[in-house]
């Protein structure tokens, strides 16, 4: 018995494979990278602002800081996206800190 592979099927499989490779390798254009310092500003229940990250002379409130990085004065490298929200706390409740979503974080 002889198996015949039609060229159309090969072309379709090749197109699907190439399309999946290009979509899997897309980088987030809005993602930023910076070095920073994790700071514990105290519990929000006691007028503190919790865990913040100082990057590029701006304090940010991460929405997903891993517990293993909750160390005061820890130097880190962060890949993140800016969020449209602000975190209000303590004495600066009317303006707050810009929030970020951490995509990747590592110790420096």
In order of 12, 15, 30, 63, the CA distances from 22 in angstroms are 16, 11, 18, 30
Query: pLDDT band at 25, cuts 50/70/90?
Result: low
- Global pTM reads 0.72
Please state the domain extents for the chain. Answer: 32-107
- The 10s digit of each residue's pLDDT in 52-71 is 999 999 999 999 999 999 99
Domain with residues 32-107, CATH architecture: Beta Barrel (2.40)
Buried b (16+ CB within 10 A) or exposed e, 89-99: beeeeeeebeb
């Amino acid at each position: 018995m002889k198996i015949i592979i039609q060229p159309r099927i090969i072309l379709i499989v090749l197109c699907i494979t190439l399309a999946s490779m290009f979509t899997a390798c897309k980088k987030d254009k809005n993602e930023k990278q910076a070095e920073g310092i994790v700071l514990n500003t105290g519990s929000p229940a006691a007028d503190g602002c919790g865990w913040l990250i100082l990057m590029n002379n701006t304090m940010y409130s991460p929405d997903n800081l891993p517990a293993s990085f909750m160390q005061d004065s820890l130097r880190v490298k962060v890949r993140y996206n800016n969020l449209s929200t602000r975190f209000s706390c303590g004495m600066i409740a009317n303006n707050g800190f810009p929030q970020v979503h951490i995509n990747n974080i590592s110790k420096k």
